[in-house]
Structure 1
Amino acid sequence: MYEDVVNDIADMLRPFVRCKTYSIIDRLANATSKEVVEVALYEALRISRSAAGSYLCKEDEKEIRPYIAKEENIDRLLIELDEDLMRGLEIVRRIAIKSLSWPEKREDVPESVRPRETL
């Protein structure tokens, strides 16, 4: 039900992970209140918005550009936090966890962090 919310917000946070700026993700993963989530999301949105048209950092000479999550997905998450705080915090932790993973479609993953093939 919230898969699109999780994916969209995780996509916004992934550039921060690639730039090794984990503080926002850590605050979301450890959030115990709606206020903590709001401040972390505000910070991520503000940094992403201010870097729009530019880049957040460089990774192996590649510019890592920001992504801004859709307003409707931010709204859905905030509403869930209002209606059911525990469920909302579970969704926020899922977003944080997912933001640390590499999406399947990524082909430019550095060799050092590329998943190993199973035998």
Structure 2
Amino acid sequence: MPSTLYPMHGYTMKHLADELARRKHDVTWLEYGPLQSKTSLSKDVKRIYWPVQFDHAAFSDMFVHRNHSIHDQLWDPNFEMPNEQTTAWLASVRLCDRLLTRYRTKFDELVKERFDTVVVDDLYNPCGMLQVA
């Protein structure tokens, strides 16, 4: 899931971004997803947000509105319904596909920019790997 929905990684990465900006590095913070995160960043951090929605209401219910019947169980290590254990990852793949379809031109422009370092906070998100490839 992108950090816009579960911002635990964003909370820690914000300190890295702010510190790099304080040391006069050019920092770009890229977010995508149904909602923009509420993570506060230094004014010196360039923030980009690309809104993209899930293609199924069940994903929105589960990850945006958090009103799906099994939402709270998804993060329980003892919850062992095999089909549900992969739901977040599959939802991420579908969201990434929609992101790259909708923002292909902007994504290609971003790829052409030169970056000294790229930090991806969405560790297990396949879209993060595509963003830095």
Give TM-score scaled by structure 1 length: 0.33
Higher relative contact order structure (alpha carbons within 8 Å, sequence separation ≥ 6): 1
Structure (1 or 2) with the larger CA radius of gyration: 2
Structure number with the higher helix fraction is 1
